[in-house]
Every structure is written in structure tokens, then in C-alpha cells.
């Protein structure tokens, strides 16, 4: 039977009233846990797993998929409104989204995130249905050296998020890279920079750092300004809904975000946040309004939000085709499959086509449900911003603290939240950008491990890094991205000099 | 709070029949949700509730550093408390040694070994290595040319690779072991032909082996396993048996009666239909070994693991 007929059959399975109900429960729970920082989709699915022993496999997997997509949807809400990213994939959203919310454009920001997530989820799920076998081949072609090249490219391109001063941006980045070294080194099992504190052995949790730097740091900053602070927060200015101009500026980033996020999500060592970095950098490069970036550019919300939803669908590619879970949620979904004696892998598509296509079809349905559920909520969410400032920031502080100790009930974790919060405050006072610290913490350890793996496999031969066409190409693009602006600037300076010279004549 | 909130939402979504029964248990899985220890803890939870041993069983996750963070917390909190259980396993033995953890397994009360899984060495279907003998020859000729993909350094996979090298007469320090973080990254590296061999529990590779994408060279079991079409290490002339086992501990400071009562409850779990079904679907072996026998076996393994980790160079 061809793919299309199988998909239609899957839709018939998913459209059974009981399965629709499971999908609805899934997306509602998923949105709720996505909005709450600290409890992520992985924990929710793990909590639900024992309950679903009694359900039929199709129903429970449909519910899990709903939670997964719902979590990706909900994560953007707190990022945009409260500058408190609930998970690493929505950190980039906070950069522009929160600026928009403060300028009274929270409605359009939430709308572009919701519609972007829908568009990306739709396209990526269809791509999952039709392209999975090819995408997975591409993903497997990525070994340590290719990942390392990808990380180098990511480092070069995310300098777009560094703000105006390269020196300050790099300083922040190196702070992040140092924090990334903390913990047990995967390759040798030895502890680094943990100062004898056992709680630091697993390294620094990305969400703890992000919540501390963004939410706590900003709360302290606002509190420190006291009454002198300008009344910047405007709940709504202009339309609550996206204007024609917002649409015009959003649709291309949605599509580009999807194209970037899907394959990176499918890579076993990719990860949703990498896709959001690339998307943000791309949008900043291509935007006609690059000066708005850092001040609330809608492209910077539309692209990354599409990218993180597309990579959620991408994650299902290796899970369904190879049995490879590439995220915590996917790992628990794999456990869910095994609970029913199903072994995801190359044989699943042929041995249980009804289930696989039912799952894919219910992802499509969950996606529609999420849009219907989320759009009307926007009006309610933005009203959060009408709360008087002292109350709002006290609430953010409470929310961030609860989220952190909810995820890991430990004093050390709470201490880290406060210390990094103070650090975030200090960096704001002295004008250092925050995002590069988080970027360094995410990319640093990935780049390091992949480089060391590549060199260990080659037994120390550095040439291996450029010996594959993929890694050579990625490194070449990175080199061009790094050198070209320098060359252009040098040439520009030359032109100005010659103009100055001619003026003198 | 969040857990409570989620649990409340859950209870609202799906009405669970709640009945208060005898003892309440809290089981700690010293790892994040989804892994082997978490699955073991949740399977115990399910077996305890369905068999009526306890009406209220909670699983808590304390992730970190190969289980040593959870172990330290457990040893402190569960002191003299007969309602607390800790799931753990062989990985913890290695992690305690490599991390030089301040709280060791002698700080808690061993109840029983529950399950076990054997390690397999696999190659991509297209690999020139057809048997363990081929691997041994290649390893002896140039140890660095054989790259082994497995889990984190000092874990069961790394230890098995080191022991394999040592048994065939190659210095374990020269083993070119490439550590991958869990969840299939090692599998992807093997499938993508990035490394020479993969080494891990059979469950990690099962689907790919059945699909013909990977070939099993050998199994670390004492005798042949019916579902795996490959010789044991011993059959191929490499005298080595390794089992990645999981077990359960209780807190320190319990009386002999309390320990006996917990052991009896755990034994009921192991004999329950629900537990047997879990083992069958997950492909785990029942390796039930209670009390003192478990304690003695544990001491032996700690010594052997300490020796091989020194040989590999991870422990001074």
C-alpha cells in the first residue's frame, strides 16, 4: 500500500472518538506542563506511563505524542511573557519575544509563536510521514567530525545574538564555555571544576542557568531601579492580533525555521535548541530590519518557534525508524512502546503499520487541536502583563524558584539559581549580553565531546576533521561566515578612506 | 508542588481507583525518568500496587553522577526508615569508584539483586569483522585501530571492553573507547560506520540486529541465549562473563525483622504476574539473589571492578 493510503487509514484510526479524547487530554496536559517551568514533557510522560498500562497501545501513544507537541507549544508562553524559558528549546524565543511583550506586542508574539508552531508541526509531520527513510540516512551520515563542524558553524552564526560589542559578547560566551566544563567528563569519567561538591558532578542544568540569568537577573535589575525605572511594560499596544505586516514578516521565518529544525531534530546528537540558534541567526542575517533585533523583532520569535516544533517532529524520525530516542521525552516514549512489546526500529513500519500511521495521523490532529486551544488563550495570557509591576516580578521570582526546585529538589540547585541570578544582574548593570552565556553552556560541551571523539577515532590525526565532504563543507561555510564580514568591513573602510581622500582634492 | 499539580491534573483526567492498603513504599530511582533504574522502580511500583503489597507507592527520581547523588541522599534520608527503597545496579559500582564518591554502597542495606542483562559486541552488517576471533586478531595487531562505542566512561560497557582486552592479552589502557551519552547515540555511531564495534546491553541493539543492520559477534553470558544468534565470549575462547545487573537496597539502621519484612515484600514482587510480564516485554533476565548472598557477590564485584578500572587508568 502506498504511503498516502496508509496515512488516510491512520487518520481513520486517530479520528475514532476515544483516540480524539486521548489526543485532547495529551495536548491539554502538554500545554499546561509546557507553561510551568520545571516540569517538562519527559516527567509528565514518565508519570503517566504506569497509568497507561491499562490503555491500548494506540491510545496511550497518541496521548504521549499530544503531550510532546503540547509541551513545545506551551514552552513559548512563559518565555515571551515572563522572560522565563521553561525549557532549553525556548530560550531563543525569550530574546525577541519578551522585548515584544514589553512593548505591548505580546499578542502578536504569542500568535506568531502559536501559528508558527502549527505550520512547522504540520509540515514536519507530513515530512515525517513521507521522508523519514531518507532523512534518517542523512542523520546517520553525521559522525563526531560532522557534528563538530556543525557546532563550529553554530558558534560562528550565533554571534548574531551577541549584541553590539564583540568583546563583551565573547566575554559572555567564555563565561558560558567555562560553566560548560563543570561536571564529570564523559570521555574519562573524571570530575572537572566541581570543587568537591557532588551536586555539581552532573554539570550545570541549562534551564537553571537560563531561568536565573533571564528571570531572576531581570527581577533584581528592575527592583534595583526602583521608582526611577521607566514604565516600559505596556500590556497591549495596537492590535492584540497579528497585523498584515506581522503576517508578511512571519511566514518566511516559519518556513525557514521548519526547514532548519526538522533535520537537526532528526540527528541523534542534534537537539532542538541548536535548530533555534540557527534559525535566529538566519533571520537576523536575512531580515530587512536587522536593527530591530534585540529590541523585539517578530522574525526572531517566528523562526525559532517554528524550528523547535519542527525538531520535535524530527526527533520521531530516528525513534520510529531506528528505535533511537534522541530526547528525554522520546526515551520515555520508547519505554512506552516496549511496554506493549513493540520494538521501534526498522521493522516497526512493516510490522505495525496501523500503529505508526495512527500515531502520525494523531500528531496532525493534535497539531490542529493545539492551535484551536492556544489562539483564544492569547487574550487571557497577555492580561498577565496588566498585573502591577511589584506583583508581577514577585510572581516571576516565585515561579522561577518553584520551577527549579520542582525539577530538582536540592539546596545546591537553588543556590545556583540565586548565584547565577546575581551574575545575570551584574552583567545587565555592566552591559554584558546574557544569551551568549547560555549558548556557551549548550554548545561548548557538545563541541568538545564531538571533537575529542573524532580525534580518538582517528587516533589523533587532525586531518580527519576535513576529510569528509559534509564536515569540510560545514567548516567552509563557517569560515566564510566569519571572514566575509571582516573583509567587507575592511573594503568598506578602504572606500571611505578613498572618499575622504577625494574630498580633500 | 509541580509533581502534585501534574498528579492532580492526571487524577482529574483519568479516574484512578485509590485504595489504602498495608505498607506504603517510596522507591528512589537515582537517575532521570526513562532509564533502566527508573523503569525498574516503576515496574516495582506497578507490581506492588497490583498485588496489594502496598496501596501507595511513590517513585522519586534523583538523577546524577551514575546514581551516586541519589545514593548519598538516600543513605541520609532513609536511615532507620523501613518504607524507603533504592534501585541501583552495577553502573553504580563503577561510578562510586571513578567519582571517588564519599557515600559508598556499604552505607545502605542490600535487599536483593533483581534483574540482569548481558553485554554484546556488535558490528555493522558490512563490517569485515565476522567473528570474535577476527576482532581479537585486529585488536592484538593494533589496539588503537579498534574504536569501541558505548556508554559513559567507567560504565559497564567500558569495563566490559577493558576486561575483554585484558582477557585476550591486550593492555586495557590501550583500548580506544569512545564514550557516548545514553539514548542511542552509540547505536547511531555504529550504524553510521563511525566506529569499529559497538558494546552495550543487547536491548540497545536488538531492533537493528533483527532487521539485519547489525551483526552480533559475541555475548557476555555464561551460556548461549536463545534469542541471540551468536556465541558467548567463553565459547569463542575468551574466558569472560559480565552481567549488568540491577538490584534494590533499603536504608541503613534497620532491624533484622524490618529487613526480613522488606525482603519478603520484594520477593512477592518478583513472583508476581505483573513483574514477570515486565521482564518478558523488556527482555530482562530474572537474577534473584537475596540478602547475604547478594552482599557477598557485591563485595566480589567491587574488588574486580576496582582492579579493572585501575588497569584502564580511570582510577588511581
pLDDT at A229: 60
How many angstroms separate the most distant Cα atoms in chain B? 64
CB contact (8 A) between residue A338 and residue B281: yes
Strand partners, A191: A184
Give the list of residues 6+ apart from residue B263 with CB closer than 8 angstroms, or none.
Answer: B111, B112, B290, B291
pLDDT at A38: 58
Q: Are A442 and A206 in contact (CB under 8 A)?
A: yes
d(CA A165, CA A172): 11
Instruction: Scan residues 346-385 of A and list those with Cβ closer than 8 Å to B.
Output: 346-348
> Could you give the 3-state DSSP secondary structure of residue B216?
strand
DSSP state for residue A40 in the 8-state scheme: -
Return the residue of A nearest to B46 by Cα.
A50
**Mutation for testing the B interface, residue in A45, A318, A324, A449 having most B CBs under 10 Å:** A324
- Residues B57-77 have pLDDT tens digits of 888 877 777 788 888 888 888
pLDDT at B17: 36
Residue B11 pLDDT exceeds 60: no
Give the list of residues 6+ apart from residue A392 with CB closer than 8 angstroms, or none.
Answer: A233, A384, A385
pLDDT at A282: 86
Residue B183 pLDDT exceeds 80: no
Q: What is the mean pLDDT of residues B274-292?
A: 81
pLDDT at A180: 92
H helices of chain B, in order, are: 2-13, 36-51, 68-77, 90-99, 132-141, 156-167, 185-191, 202-210, 256-270, 273-282, 291-312
CB contact (8 A) between residue A322 and residue B187: yes
Question: How many helices and strands (H and E) does chain A possess?
Answer: 21, 2
d(CA B316, CA B311): 9
Q: Are A367 and A121 in contact (CB under 8 A)?
A: yes
Of B32, B38, B99, the CB nearest to A184: B99
Residue B15 pLDDT exceeds 50: no
HSE at residue B147, side-chain half, CA atoms within 13 A, is 21
Q: Are B185 and A269 in contact (CB under 8 A)?
A: yes
Return the residue of A nearest to B181 by Cα.
A186
State the complex-level ipTM. Answer: 0.78
Of B14, B187, B210, the CB nearest to A347: B210
pLDDT at A420: 95
d(CA A74, CA A31): 4
Does residue A400 sit at the B interface (CB-CB below 8 Å)?
no
pLDDT at A40: 65
DSSP state for residue A459 in the 8-state scheme: T
Q: What is the pLDDT along chain A (505 residues), one digit of tens a residue?
A: 567 787 787 788 778 888 888 888 888 888 877 776 656 666 677 666 666 666 777 787 778 778 878 877 777 888 888 887 767 788 888 888 888 888 888 888 988 998 998 999 889 988 888 887 777 777 788 888 988 998 888 888 776 566 667 788 888 899 999 999 998 888 887 888 888 887 788 788 887 888 888 888 888 988 888 776 655 556 666 667 788 888 888 889 999 999 998 988 888 776 778 888 889 888 888 888 878 888 888 998 999 999 988 988 888 888 887 777 767 677 777 777 766 666 666 667 777 777 778 778 888 888 888 888 888 888 888 777 777 878 888 888 887 888 777 777 788 889 999 999 999 999 989 988 888 888 888 888 889 999 999 999 998 899 989 988 989 998 998 888 778 777 777 776 655 555 544 444 4
Instruction: Write out chain B residues lying below 8 Å of A337, CB-based.
Output: none
Domain ranges of chain A: 3-467
Residue B215: name the closest of B197, B200, B203 by CA.
Answer: B197
H helices of A142-271, in order, are: 144-158, 166-181, 206-211, 217-225, 244-266
H helices of A375-468, in order, are: 377-382, 389-407, 411-429, 435-457
pLDDT at B36: 77
Q: How confident is the model at residue B13 (pLDDT cuts 50, 70, 90)?
A: very low
**How far out from the chain centre does Cα A194 lie?**
27
pLDDT at A54: 66
The H or E element containing residue A26 is helix A17-35
Using left for φ > 0, alpha for ψ between -120 and 50, and beta otherwise, residue B40 falls in alpha
Residue A169: name the closest of A399, A439, A377 by CA.
Answer: A439
User: DSSP per residue over A300-323, as a string?
Assistant: HHHHHHHHHHHHHHHHHHHHHHH-
Instruction: Write out chain A residues lying below 8 Å of B6, CB-based.
Output: 29, 33, 39, 43-44, 47
Return the residue of A nearest to B34 by Cα.
A332
Beta B84-89 vs B109-124: how paired, if at all? unpaired
d(CA B312, CA B316): 10
DSSP state for residue B101 in the 8-state scheme: -
CB contact (8 A) between residue B211 and residue A347: yes
CB contact (8 A) between residue B9 and residue A32: yes
Strand partners, B218: B121
pLDDT at A233: 58
Instruction: Write out chain A residues lying below 8 Å of B45, CB-based.
Output: 50
Return the residue of A nearest to B96 by Cα.
A189
Instruction: Write out chain B residues lying below 8 Å of A203, CB-based.
Output: none
Return the residue of B nearest to A450 by Cα.
B180
Using left for φ > 0, alpha for ψ between -120 and 50, and beta otherwise, residue B109 falls in beta
Of A140, A335, A347, the CB nearest to B188: A140
Mean pLDDT of chain B: 82
Residue A67: name the closest of A48, A89, A87 by CA.
Answer: A48
d(CA A333, CA B228): 25
Does residue A39 sit at the B interface (CB-CB below 8 Å)?
yes
> Could you give the 3-state DSSP secondary structure of residue A53?
helix
d(CA B255, CA B262): 11
Smallest Cα distance from A437 to chain B, Å: 23
Instruction: Write out chain B residues lying below 8 Å of A43, CB-based.
Output: 3, 6, 33
Instruction: Write out chain A residues lying below 8 Å of B213, CB-based.
Output: 346
pLDDT at B49: 81
pLDDT at A106: 85
Taking the CA atoms of residue A425, residue A428, residue A432 and residue A438 in that order, the dihedral angle to the nearest 10 degrees is: 50
Instruction: Scan residues 411-440 of A and list those with Cβ closer than 8 Å to B.
Output: none
Instruction: Write out chain B residues lying below 8 Å of A449, CB-based.
Output: 181
Q: What is the mean pLDDT of residues B255-277?
A: 85
Q: What is the mean pLDDT of residues B208-230?
A: 88
User: DSSP per residue over B143-180, as a string?
Assistant: GGG-EEEESSTTSHHHHHHHHHHHHTT--GGG-EEEE-
Smallest Cα distance from A470 to chain B, Å: 14
pTM: 0.81
pLDDT at B102: 79
Instruction: Scan residues 73-102 of A and list those with Cβ closer than 8 Å to B.
Output: none
**Mutation for testing the A interface, residue in B182, B188, B210 having most A CBs under 10 Å:** B188
Instruction: Scan residues 192-211 of A and list those with Cβ closer than 8 Å to B.
Output: 198-199, 201-202
Burial annotation B26-53 (CB, 10 A radius, 16+ → b, else e): bbbbbbbbbbbbbbbbbbbbbbbbebeb
Residue B10 pLDDT exceeds 50: no
Three-state SS letters, A183-216: EECCCCCCEECCCCCHHHCCCCCHHHHHHHHHHH
CA distances from B206 to A116, A150, A275, A291 (A): 38, 30, 30, 53
Domains located in chain B, CATH noted: 2-116+246-312 (3.40.190.150), 117-219 (3.40.190.10)
Amino acid at each position: 500500500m502506498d504511503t498516502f493510503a496508509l496515512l488516510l487509514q491512520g487518520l481513520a484510526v486517530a479520528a475514532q472518538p476515544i483516540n480524539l479524547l486521548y489526543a485532547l487530554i495529551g495536548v491539554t496536559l502538554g500545554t499546561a506542563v509546557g507553561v510551568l517551568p520545571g516540569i517538562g514533557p519527559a516527567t509528565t510522560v514518565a508519570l503517566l506511563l504506569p497509568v497507561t498500562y491499562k490503555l491500548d497501545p494506540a491510545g496511550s501513544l497518541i496521548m504521549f505524542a499530544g503531550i510532546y507537541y503540547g509541551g513545545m507549544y506551551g514552552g513559548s508562553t512563559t518565555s515571551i511573557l515572563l522572560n522565563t524559558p521553561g525549557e532549553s528549546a525556548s530560550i531563543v524565543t525569550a530574546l525577541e519575544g519578551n522585548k515584544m511583550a514589553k512593548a505591548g506586542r505580546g499578542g502578536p508574539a504569542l500568535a506568531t509563536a502559536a501559528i508558527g508552531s502549527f505550520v512547522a508541526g504540520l509540515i514536519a509531520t507530513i515530512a515525517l510521514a513521507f521522508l523519514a527513510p531518507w532523512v534518517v540516512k542523512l542523520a546517520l551520515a553525521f559522525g563526531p567530525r560532522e557534528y563538530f563542524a556543525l557546532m563550529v558553524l553554530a558558534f560562528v552564526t550565533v554571534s548574531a545574538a551577541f549584541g553590539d560589542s564583540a568583546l563583551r559578547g565573547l566575554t559572555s560566551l567564555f563565561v558560558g564555555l567555562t560553566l560548560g566544563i563543570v561536571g564529570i567528563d564523559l570521555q574519562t569519567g573524571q570530575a572537572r571544576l566541581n570543587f568537591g561538591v557532588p551536586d555539581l558532578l552532573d554539570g550545570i542544568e541549562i534551564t537553571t542557568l537560563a531561568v536565573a540569568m533571564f528571570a531572576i537577573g531581570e527581577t533584581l535589575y528592575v527592583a534595583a531601579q526602583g521608582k526611577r525605572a521607566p514604565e516600559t511594560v505596556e500590556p497591549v499596544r495596537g492590535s492584540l492580533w497579528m497585523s498584515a505586516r506581522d503576517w508578511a514578516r512571519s511566514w518566511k521565518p516559519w518556513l525557514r525555521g521548519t526547514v532548519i529544525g526538522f533535520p537537526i531534530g532528526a540527528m541523534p546528537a542534534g537537539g532542538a535548541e541548536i535548530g533555534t540558534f540557527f534559525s535566529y541567526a538566519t533571520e537576523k542575517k536575512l531580515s530587512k530590519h536587522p536593527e530591530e533585533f534585540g529590541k523585539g523583532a517578530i522574525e526572531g520569535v517566528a523562526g525559532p518557534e517554528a524550528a523547535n516544533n519542527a525538531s520535535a517532529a524530527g526527533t520521531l524520525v530516528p525513534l520510529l525508524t531506528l528505535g533511537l530516542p534522541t530526547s528525554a521525552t522520546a526515551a520515555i516514549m520508547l519505554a512506552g512502546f516496549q511496554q506493549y512489546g513493540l520494538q521501534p526500529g526498522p521493522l516497526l513500519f512493516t510490522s505495525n503499520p496501523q500503529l505508526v500511521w495512527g500515531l502520525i495521523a494523531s500528531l496532525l490532529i493534535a497539531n490542529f487541536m493545539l492551535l484551536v486551544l492556544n489562539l483564544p488563550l492569547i487574550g487571557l495570557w497577555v492580561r498577565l502583563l496588566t498585573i502591577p509591576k511589584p506583583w508581577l516580578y514577585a510572581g516571576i521570582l516565585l515561579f522561577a524558584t518553584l520551577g527549579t526546585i520542582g525539577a530538582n529538589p536540592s539546596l545546591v540547585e537553588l543556590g545556583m539559581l540565586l548565584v547565577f541570578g546575581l551574575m545575570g544582574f551584574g552583567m545587565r548593570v555592566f552591559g554584558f549580553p546574557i544569551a551568549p552565556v547560555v549558548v556557551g553552556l549548550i554548545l561548548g560541551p557538545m563541541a568538545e565531546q564531538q571533537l575529542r571523539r573524532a580525534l580518538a577515532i582517528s587516533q589523533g590525526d587532525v586531518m580527519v576533521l576535513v576529510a569528509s565532504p559534509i564536515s569540510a563543507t560545514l567548516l567552509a561555510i563557517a569560515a566564510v561566515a566569519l571572514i566575509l564580514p571582516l573583509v567587507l568591513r575592511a573594503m568598506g573602510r578602504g572606500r571611505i578612506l578613498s572618499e575622504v581622500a577625494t574630498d580633500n582634492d | 508542588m509541580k509533581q502534585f499539580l501534574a498528579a492532580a491534573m492526571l487524577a482529574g483526567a483519568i479516574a484512578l481507583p485509590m485504595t489504602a492498603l498495608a505498607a506504603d513504599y517510596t522507591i528512589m530511582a537515582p537517575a532521570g525518568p526513562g532509564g533502566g533504574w527508573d523503569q525498574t522502580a516503576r515496574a516495582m511500583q506497578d507490581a506492588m500496587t497490583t498485588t496489594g503489597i502496598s496501596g501507595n507507592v511513590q517513585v522519586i527520581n534523583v538523577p546524577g553522577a551514575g546514581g551516586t547523588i541519589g545514593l548519598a541522599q538516600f543513605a541520609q534520608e532513609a536511615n532507620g526508615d523501613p518504607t524507603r527503597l533504592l534501585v541501583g545496579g552495577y553502573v553504580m559500582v563503577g561510578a562510586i569508584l571513578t567519582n571517588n564518591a564519599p557515600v559508598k554502597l556499604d552505607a545502605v542495606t542490600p535487599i536483593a539483586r533483581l534483574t540482569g542483562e548481558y553485554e554484546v559486541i556488535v558490528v555493522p552488517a558490512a563490517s569485515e569483522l565476522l567473528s570474535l576471533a577476527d576482532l581479537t586478531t585486529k585488536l592484538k595487531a593494533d589496539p588503537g585501530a579498534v574504536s569501541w562505542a558505548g556508554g559513559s566512561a567507567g560504565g559497564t560497557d567500558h569495563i566490559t571492553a577493558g576486561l575483554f582486552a585484558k582477557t585476550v592479552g591486550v593492555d586495557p589502557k590501550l583500548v580506544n573507547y569512545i564514550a557516548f551519552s545514553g539514548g542511542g547515540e552509540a547505536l547511531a555511531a555504529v550504524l553510521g560506520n563511525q566506529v569499529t564495534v559497538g558494546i552495550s546491553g543487547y536491548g540497545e541493539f536488538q531492533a537493528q540486529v533483527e532487521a539485519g543492520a547489525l551483526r552480533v559477534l559475541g555475548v557476555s553470558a555464561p551460556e548461549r541465549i536463545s534469542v541471540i544468534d551468536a556465541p558467548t565470549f567463553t565459547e569463542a575462547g575468551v574466558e569472560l562473563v559480565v552481567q549488568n545487573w540491577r538490584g534494590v537496597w533499603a536504608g541503613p539502621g534497620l532491624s533484622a525483622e524490618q529487613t526480613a519484612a522488606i525482603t519478603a515484600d520484594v520477593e512477592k514482587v518478583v513472583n508476581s504476574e505483573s513483574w514477570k510480564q515486565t521482564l518478558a516485554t523488556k527482555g530482562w533476565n530474572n537474577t534473584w539473589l537475596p540478602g547475604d548472598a547478594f552482599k557477598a557477590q557485591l563485595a566480589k564485584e567491587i574488588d574486580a571492578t576496582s582492579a579493572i578500572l585501575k588497569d584502564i587508568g580511570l582510577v588511581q
